[in-house]
């Protein structure tokens, strides 16, 4: 009996100390700090989800080299060549971000219609997979291709959860994540209030879209002022650099400091103005 009690005491002590001796190693989460994950999500929002990140980085480097060569051949001012190289390196990223923001802004008005189509399909007696797949024909034109991919994937695998995950990656939109997670929960646990929840979500989305459009219209002057304020000094600098005596002055160390200092001030001022005029964007919590 003493031996049994001793073994039990030792086992209890070992189990108590095990979390400190052998801590569990969790798999790294897909956080928003992962730059590769952020790039993939942004490229998917812009409709470039099939483009590898390495190819995109290579394209950015090629554009930077071409911009540097063009600036050096045209103006011959080394500080401006440095600025052109930086701008060329960031230009593809800016274009992708601009296209992703435009696509998200355009899709913000179609998600209530998507929810309405889902409600109609569910109320007519269709199963959830068939209701989602039916959006490839009845849904808004801008998202039909993504739902057509879901239809093909579900027909091949028969796995609703896997097909929903692929659809979320294809759409790469926080509102779509919320809708699809609601459908996943209804599929897994059931419930008779799915149509009520979807109708409430559609009503909230319409209100949010109306408020955002009104605020964006009122704050558009801030964004336009920021763009004009940043572009105007550099246009004047390009005109001055076209003169030989100005190009010679800007090729000195003092000219380099003036141009790089102006670049830093322009970037900081632009970011401050954009931050003041930008509405908070929803984050993708269900990834």
pLDDT digits (tens, 9 = 90+) for 55-81: 888 888 999 999 989 888 888 888 888
pLDDT digits (tens, 9 = 90+) for 207-263: 888 888 888 777 777 778 778 888 888 888 888 888 888 778 888 888 888 888 888
pLDDT above 80: residue 16: no
pLDDT, averaged across the chain: 80
Residue 21 has pLDDT above 60, yes or no: no
Residue 6: what pLDDT? 65
- Least confident range from 46-50, 118-122, 147-151, 201-205: namely 46-50
Burial of 91 per CB tally in 10 Å (0-12, 13-18, 19+)? middle
Q: From CA 170, how far away is CA 183, in angstroms rounded?
A: 17
Output the pLDDT for position 65: 92
**Spatial separation of the C-alpha atoms in residues 70 and 50, rounded to whole Å:** 30
Per-residue pLDDT, 15: 65
Rg over alpha carbons for the chain, rounded to the nearest Å, is 27
More confident residue, 43 or 130: 130
Contacts 24+ apart (CB under 8 A), 161-166: 161/187, 161/188, 163/129, 164/132
Three-state SS letters, 253-264 = HHHHHHHHHHHH
Say which range, 55-64, 97-106, 141-150, has the weakest mean pLDDT: 97-106
pTM: 0.63
């Amino acid at each position: 009996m003493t031996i049994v009690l001793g073994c039990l005491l030792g086992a209890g002590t070992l189990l108590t100390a095990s979390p400190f001796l052998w801590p569990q190693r969790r798999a790294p989460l897909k956080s928003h700090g992962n730059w590769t994950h952020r790039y993939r999500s942004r490229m998917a929002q812009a409709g470039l989800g099939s483009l590898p990140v390495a190819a995109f980085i290579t394209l950015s480097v090629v554009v930077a080299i071409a911009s540097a060569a063009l600036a050096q051949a045209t103006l011959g001012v080394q500080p401006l060549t440095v600025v052109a190289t930086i701008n060329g390196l960031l230009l593809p990223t800016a274009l992708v971000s601009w296209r992703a923001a435009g696509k998200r802004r355009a899709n913000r008005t179609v998600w209530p219609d998507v929810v309405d189509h889902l409600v109609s399909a569910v109320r007519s007696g269709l199963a959830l997979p068939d209701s989602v797949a039916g959006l490839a024909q009845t849904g808004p034109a801008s998202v039909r291709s993504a739902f057509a991919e879901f239809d093909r994937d579900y027909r091949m695998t028969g796995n609703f959860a896997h097909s929903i995950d692929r659809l979320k990656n294809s759409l790469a939109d926080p509102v779509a994540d919320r809708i699809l997670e609601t459908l996943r929960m209804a599929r897994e646990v059931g419930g008779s209030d799915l149509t009520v929840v979807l109708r409430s979500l559609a009503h909230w989305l319409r209100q949010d879209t109306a408020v955002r459009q009104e605020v964006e219209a009122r704050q558009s002057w801030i964004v336009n002022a920021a763009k004009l304020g940043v572009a105007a000094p550099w246009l004047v600098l390009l005109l001055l650099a076209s003169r030989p005596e100005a190009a010679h002055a800007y090729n000195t160390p003092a000219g380099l400091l003036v141009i790089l200092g102006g670049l830093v001030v322009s970037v900081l001022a632009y970011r401050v103005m954009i931050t003041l005029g930008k509405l908070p964007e929803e984050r993708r919590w269900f990834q």
